[in-house]
Amino acid sequence: MADTAVQPSRSRDLDKLLLRPGNLVGPSFEPGPELREDLKEYAKVLVVGAGGLGCELLKDLALSGFRELEVIDMDRIEVSNLNRQFLFRLEDVGKPKAEVAAKRVMERVSGVNIVPHFCRIEDKELSFFSNFSIIALGLDSIEARSYINAVVCGFLEYDSDDNPLEETVKPMVDGGTEGFKGHARVIMPGLTPCFECTIWLFPPQVKFPLCTLAETPRTAAHCIEYAHLIKWDEVHSGKAFDPDDPKHMKWVYDEAVKRAELFGIPGVTYSLTQGVVKNIIPAIASTNAIISAACAMETLKIASGCSKTLSNYLTYNGAEGLHTKVTEFVKDKDCLVCGPGVLVELDSSLTLEKFISLLEEHPKLQLSKASITHRGKNLYMQAPPVLEEMTRSNLSQPLFELMGKISKDVVHATGTVKKNDTKTSSLRKLRVVFKGVDEVADMDTAGGA
């Protein structure tokens, strides 16, 4: 008699989530084999960062049924990475992290396709990020998170009632680790708090008084910062320090060792030098694995609807025992990045000067003496005098032309408002829509920061 026993599927654990109904599933969830195949074919995920957390994310996403992945990272592999970034080997030192990480995961997980990008995130066109269903962040930099957050919120559009259009919401899953601590969060721009809404969660960076560095250093970190902040400028007058240049970092390390020997201070190492200069917190492999698992699970929930997503910020602390907590933070309705701003409909012939006058008369704004910026470019600045003179010629030009002749986009206006007989400075986000102008096909952002 032929053996008709069903062989266990390699994706049996995934099948338990995708092939069965449940009480916590999303409203659009339809269990079945088709969902598993759709996940492989249509869900496209970008992993930003290929370090300790990024390596874990790539592996977890590949093993969770995602087949179309891309990863972007600007760093090369260093010896100090090898203790926790498990996809790398000694022979990989000096090679791009993104390329090696993609290669290793594809070798171990059959059928997955991972495209690496060895470059800065700022080097990519905005349209590059719009191609992905979900963006997963494995970063150790506040600046990089802010940039990706602004890009993703830039795709967001609102209707006339200031409700986000569902088709323009691009989900993000953000993870971060710091020693035995970590966090995972889900960001649905326009629906949940974005990164800027909760920027206050990040503690201020430690700063050392320059007098301590120059005269009375007491720790290895003082010696390193002396070489970095003081000695570098003395020796390399006018030359900017590049923390990603190994020669620059080696120079700072050598000078810090000399400084430490002079004052009898132990503990200066190359890895510590990198940590102090780049403000890197030592990473622990187990923390990366736990946070990556949480991020991969949330990515799967968003893509498949197999369960309700996190609401909306998970913290993990394994320093003493184990403690996890989920906190639901509230979206800042006035956020300049993800908030709707104020909708302003204009004629394409309206000049910048008349636009500034309109802001003063607008019932929701009443913004006087406004300075206007568009995508980081100063269209008109009230002060200082040198900038006012440089941008004065723009006043007579149509705003439509100054904004690149696109039908709708966001500008930021800074001016003064009067409240309770007191004038205060105010920065406002404006969604400008030009009446009677067709949508430009290649517009790369609308309604964002």
User: Would residue 240 count as lying in a domain?
Assistant: yes
Q: Are residue 117 and residue 146 in the same domain, yes or no?
A: yes
Q: Cα separation of 376 and 378, whole Å?
A: 7
* Strands lying side by side in the sheet with 422-434: 342-346, 422-434, 408-419, 368-374, 377-380
Query: Using one digit for the tens of pLDDT, what is the confidence trace for 67-113?
Result: 999 999 998 988 878 888 999 999 999 999 999 999 999 999 989 99
Query: Using one digit for the tens of pLDDT, what is the confidence trace for 29-42?
Result: 888 888 888 888 89
14 in Cβ contact with 64 (< 8 Å): yes
Tell me: pLDDT of 3 over 60. no
434 in Cβ contact with 347 (< 8 Å): yes
Give the count of domains, the chain.
Answer: 3
List, by residue number, the catalytic residues: 211
User: Would residue 215 count as lying in a domain?
Assistant: yes
Q: Are residue 120 and residue 239 in the same domain, yes or no?
A: no
> Rounded to 5 degrees, what are φ and ψ at 45?
-120, 135
Q: Are residue 144 and residue 251 in the same domain, yes or no?
A: no
User: Would residue 441 count as lying in a domain?
Assistant: no
Residue 264 identity: G
Tell me: pLDDT of 116 over 80. yes
Query: Using one digit for the tens of pLDDT, what is the confidence trace for 171-212?
Result: 999 999 988 999 999 999 999 999 989 888 876 666 666 777
| pLDDT number for residue 1 | 45
Average pLDDT over residues 430-447: 62
Q: Are residue 110 and residue 123 in the same domain, yes or no?
A: yes
| pLDDT number for residue 204 | 66
Q: Are residue 267 and residue 406 in the same domain, yes or no?
A: no
Q: Mean pLDDT lowest for which of 88-97, 163-172, 349-358, 428-437?
A: 428-437
User: Would residue 245 count as lying in a domain?
Assistant: yes
Q: Are residue 247 and residue 271 in the same domain, yes or no?
A: yes
Q: Are residue 315 and residue 351 in the same domain, yes or no?
A: no
Q: Are residue 178 and residue 249 in the same domain, yes or no?
A: no
Average pLDDT over residues 130-159: 88
Q: Cα separation of 283 and 290, whole Å?
A: 12
Q: In CATH, what number is assigned to the domain containing residue 305?
A: 3.40.50.720
DSSP 375-387: TTEEEE--SSHHH
Using a cut of 0.85, tell me whether the model's pTM lies above it: no
| pLDDT number for residue 296 | 95
In the chain the first and final C-alpha atoms are separated, in Å, by 67
282 in Cβ contact with 274 (< 8 Å): no
| pLDDT number for residue 206 | 63
Confidence of residue 313 (pLDDT cuts 50, 70, 90): very high
Q: In CATH, what number is assigned to the domain containing residue 362?
A: 3.10.290.20
Is the omega angle on the peptide bond into residue 312 within 30 degrees of 0, that is, cis? yes
| pLDDT number for residue 443 | 40
Q: Cα separation of 347 and 436, whole Å?
A: 8
Give the domain extent around 258.
Answer: 210-278
User: Would residue 335 count as lying in a domain?
Assistant: no
- What are the CA-CA distances from residue 136 to residues 2, 43, 151, 375, 381 (Å)? 46, 13, 13, 24, 37
| pLDDT number for residue 395 | 93
Q: In CATH, what number is assigned to the domain containing residue 269?
A: 1.10.10.520
Q: Are residue 132 and residue 221 in the same domain, yes or no?
A: no
Instruction: Measure the CA angle with vertex 280, ends 224 and 149; round to 5°.
Output: 135
| pLDDT number for residue 301 | 92
Confidence of residue 444 (pLDDT cuts 50, 70, 90): very low
Q: pLDDT averaged over the chain?
A: 86
CA 13 and chain centroid, separation: 31
